Structure 1
Amino acid sequence: MELDLLITELDETTIQIDKMRYLATQISTKACEKTKHAKNALQYDFESQEIVKCAAILSDYIEVADAAIKKAVTELAEYDTKLQKGNAKALSADSAKVDFGVTADPSKNN
């Protein structure tokens, strides 16, 4: 149950990262538009280049966070699979047990 909640939270975080990625792309697009309309080189250097740099840095951080979340989700899925296999083995071992004095066939019980 806790594992499902954690995976849900990671999924929600991934959605937020996708939104940030979209915004970073929009920032870069706006900066490129400013470049086209820059009145002089100084204005371009001061405004547009800094915006492009910030958007690139933001995009890099977004990619790192996205990769970390994907890695965490993969590791959680592997861990969950191991837990489910362990639980399945435990359940099959419990169901295979027969109490002393009682056989698996009820017609043979005393």
Structure 2
Amino acid sequence: MATQSCHAANQKYHLILKVCDRKITLDVQEATSVKKHLKLKSKQNDNGAWDREEQRRKNQPAIELLRKRIARNKLMSNEESKKRAKFLTDFQKTVDEQRILERKLYSPQ
């Protein structure tokens, strides 16, 4: 099984084989050839570079949701903030009380 990882800054790729204890460094041409032979699909464009703009476009809905939540939370009163923090603490305690000792999620073990 082979996988590849890219370091776009220096255009070097690493071929990682499960049976080999070290990475094999490849240039762009070698990496492209390996990719074609293995028929690997990647999220990189034709010249081997990661498409930053495409990723930004895909992330926009999540980014917008986060912006709205941040703006809403900035308007929250201290009283409401304390109320929510207490609710979270109580929720975590309730969840841990329902789990066996070795499987606590929130309490230190």
Under TM normalisation by the shorter chain, which class is it? under 0.3
Answer 1 or 2: which has greater helix percent.
Answer: 1
Which protein has the larger Cα radius of gyration, Structure 1 or Structure 2?
1
Higher relative contact order (CA 8 A, sep 6+): 1
Question: Quick check: which one's strand share is greater?
Answer: 2
Q: TM-score, normalised by structure 1?
A: 0.27
TM-score by length of 2: 0.27
